[in-house]
Chains A and B, each alone.
Chain A
Amino acid sequence: MQQRQKISLFLAAVTLLAACGSEDKPPRVPTPSAIGDTPYTSTYKAMPTQVTLIRNATVLTGEGARIDGGSVLMADGKILAVGAQVEAPADALVIEAGGKWVTPGIIDNHSHLGVYASPGVVATSDGNEISGANTAEVWAEHAVWPQDQGFNTARAGGVTVLQVLPGSANLFGGRGVTLKNVPSRTMEGMKFPGAPQGLKMACGENPKRVYGEKGGPYSRMGNVAGYRKAWVKAAAYKQKWDDYEDGKGDTPPERDLQLDTLMGVLNGEILVHNHCYRADEMVVMLDVAKEFGYKIASFHHAVEAYKIADVLAESGTCAAMWADWWGFKMEAFDGIRENIALVDKAGACAIVHSDSEVGIQRLNQEAAKAMGAANRVGMGITPEHAWTWLSLNPARSLGIAELTGSLVPGKNADLVLWNGNPFSVYSKAEKVYVDGALVYDLNDPAYQAESDFVLGSLDLEGDTQ
Chain B
Amino acid sequence: MKRFMQWMSFSCLVLCANLSVAQTIAVTGGKLLTQGGAGVIENGTVLMRDGRIVAVGQHVQVPADALIIDATGKIVTPGLFDAYSEFGVTEVSGVDATVDAGQSGERFSASFDVSYAINPRSTLIGVNRIEGITRAAVVPGASWAMPGSIFSGQAAVIDLAGPGKWLTRSAAAMFVHLGESGSGLSGGSRVNAMLVLRDGLEEARDYAGHSHNWEQGAHREFTLKRKDLDALQPVLRGETLLLVAVERASDITQALQLKKDFGLKLAIVGGAEAWVVAADLAAANVPVILDPQRNLPSGFDSLGSTLENAARLQKAGVLIAISDGGTYNARNITQYAGLAVANGLPYEAALRAITLNPARIYGVNTDLGSLEVGKAADLVVWSGDPLELTSFADQVIIRGKNIPMVSRATRLRDRYMNLDEPMPLGYKK
Using C-beta atoms within 8 Å of the partner chain, give the interface range for chain B. 35 or more
Q: Decide if B342 touches A425 in the complex (CB within 8 Å).
A: yes
A464: chain B residues at CB < 8 Å are 275-276
Q: Decide if B299 touches A425 in the complex (CB within 8 Å).
A: no
Closest beta carbon of chain A to B281's beta carbon, Å: 11
- Cβ contacts A to B, 25 pairs, < 8 Å: A119-B299, A120-B299, A150-B296, A307-B416, A308-B419, A310-B420, A324-B329, A325-B329, A327-B91, A334-B412, A337-B413, A338-B413, A342-B413, A357-B296, A358-B294, A358-B296, A365-B389, A376-B383, A377-B417, A424-B388, A425-B339, A425-B388, A426-B341, A454-B303, A458-B303
Residue of B nearest to A341 (CB): B413
Q: 1/0 per residue A278-317: CB within 8 Å of B?
A: 0000000000000000000000000000111110000000
Known: A119-B298, A328-B94. A463 touches B249 (CB 8 A): yes
A15: chain B residues at CB < 8 Å are none
B412: chain A residues at CB < 8 Å are 334, 336
Residue of B nearest to A358 (CB): B293
A457: chain B residues at CB < 8 Å are 297, 303
Q: 1/0 per residue B260-302: CB within 8 Å of A?
A: 0000000000000001101100000000000001111111100
Closest beta carbon of chain B to A280's beta carbon, Å: 13
In residues 332-354 of chain A, which contact B (Cβ within 8 Å)? 332-338, 342, 346
Q: Decide if B92 touches A333 in the complex (CB within 8 Å).
A: yes
Residue of B nearest to A345 (CB): B417
Q: Looking at chain B's contact residues, is the secondary structure mostly helix, strand, loop, or mixed?
A: loop
Does B124 touch A at the CB level, under 8 Å?
Answer: yes
A308: chain B residues at CB < 8 Å are 419
Closest beta carbon of chain B to A388's beta carbon, Å: 17
Closest beta carbon of chain A to B272's beta carbon, Å: 11
A453: chain B residues at CB < 8 Å are 297
Q: How far is the CA of A358 from the CA of B297 in the complex (A)?
A: 11
Closest beta carbon of chain B to A146's beta carbon, Å: 15
Extra A-B contacts (9), CB below 8 Å, given A334-B412, A365-B335, A457-B303: A118-B298, A153-B295, A326-B409, A330-B92, A336-B409, A336-B412, A368-B389, A425-B388, A458-B303
Q: How far is the CA of A104 from the CA of B179 in the complex (A)?
A: 42
Does B387 touch A at the CB level, under 8 Å?
Answer: yes
Does B168 touch A at the CB level, under 8 Å?
Answer: no
Q: Decide if B95 touches A377 in the complex (CB within 8 Å).
A: no
Q: Decide if B419 touches A346 in the complex (CB within 8 Å).
A: yes
Does B123 touch A at the CB level, under 8 Å?
Answer: yes
Does B189 touch A at the CB level, under 8 Å?
Answer: no
Q: Pick from A121, A324, A332, A336: contact of B332, CB below 8 A.
A: A324
Does B211 touch A at the CB level, under 8 Å?
Answer: no
Does B328 touch A at the CB level, under 8 Å?
Answer: yes
Closest beta carbon of chain A to B370's beta carbon, Å: 23
Closest beta carbon of chain A to B80's beta carbon, Å: 15
Q: How far is the CA of A309 from the CA of B91 in the complex (A)?
A: 27
Q: How far is the CA of A98 from the CA of B387 in the complex (A)?
A: 24
Q: Decide if B94 touches A369 in the complex (CB within 8 Å).
A: no
Does A465 touch B at the CB level, under 8 Å?
Answer: yes
Q: How far is the CA of A428 from the CA of B331 in the complex (A)?
A: 22
Q: How far is the CA of A311 from the CA of B298 in the complex (A)?
A: 39
Residue of A nearest to B312 (CB): A464
Does A460 touch B at the CB level, under 8 Å?
Answer: yes
The residue among B275, B278, B316, B412 with the most chain A CB atoms within 10 A of its own CB is B412
Q: Decide if B390 touches A149 in the complex (CB within 8 Å).
A: no
* Chain B residues near A (Cβ < 8 Å): 91-95, 123-124, 127, 249, 275-276, 278-279, 293-300, 303-304, 316, 328-329, 331-332, 335, 338-339, 341-342, 383, 387-392, 409-410, 412-413, 416-417, 419-420
Q: Decide if B389 touches A460 in the complex (CB within 8 Å).
A: no
Closest beta carbon of chain A to B369's beta carbon, Å: 22
Closest beta carbon of chain A to B124's beta carbon, Å: 7
B279: chain A residues at CB < 8 Å are 465
Q: How far is the CA of A329 from the CA of B341 in the complex (A)?
A: 32
Closest beta carbon of chain B to A161's beta carbon, Å: 20
Q: How far is the CA of A119 from the CA of B296 in the complex (A)?
A: 8
Q: Decide if A425 touches B95 in the complex (CB within 8 Å).
A: no
Q: Decide if A423 touches B389 in the complex (CB within 8 Å).
A: yes
Q: Decide if A425 touches B389 in the complex (CB within 8 Å).
A: yes
Q: Pick from B93, B335, B341, B419: contact of A369, CB below 8 A.
A: B335
Q: How far is the CA of A373 from the CA of B329 in the complex (A)?
A: 14
The 3 closest A-B pairs by CB, nearest first: A329-B94, A425-B338, A372-B390
Q: How far is the CA of A426 from the CA of B391 in the complex (A)?
A: 13
A465: chain B residues at CB < 8 Å are 278-279, 316
Closest beta carbon of chain B to A183's beta carbon, Å: 16
Q: Decide if B338 touches A426 in the complex (CB within 8 Å).
A: yes
Q: Decide if A118 touches B296 in the complex (CB within 8 Å).
A: yes
Q: How far is the CA of A333 from the CA of B419 in the complex (A)?
A: 20
B275: chain A residues at CB < 8 Å are 464
Q: Decide if B304 touches A460 in the complex (CB within 8 Å).
A: yes
Q: Decide if A119 touches B338 in the complex (CB within 8 Å).
A: no
B410: chain A residues at CB < 8 Å are 336
A186: chain B residues at CB < 8 Å are none
Does A427 touch B at the CB level, under 8 Å?
Answer: yes
Q: How far is the CA of A358 from the CA of B94 in the complex (A)?
A: 21
A120: chain B residues at CB < 8 Å are 298-299
Does A43 touch B at the CB level, under 8 Å?
Answer: no
Q: Decide if A327 touches B92 in the complex (CB within 8 Å).
A: yes
A375: chain B residues at CB < 8 Å are 390
Residue of B nearest to A156 (CB): B295
Closest beta carbon of chain A to B330's beta carbon, Å: 11
Q: Decide if B388 touches A454 in the complex (CB within 8 Å).
A: no
Does A371 touch B at the CB level, under 8 Å?
Answer: yes
Residue of A nearest to B278 (CB): A465
Q: Pick from B297, B331, B342, B387: contact of A118, CB below 8 A.
A: B297
A361: chain B residues at CB < 8 Å are 293, 295
Q: Pick from A150, A309, A371, A425: contact of B335, CB below 8 A.
A: A425
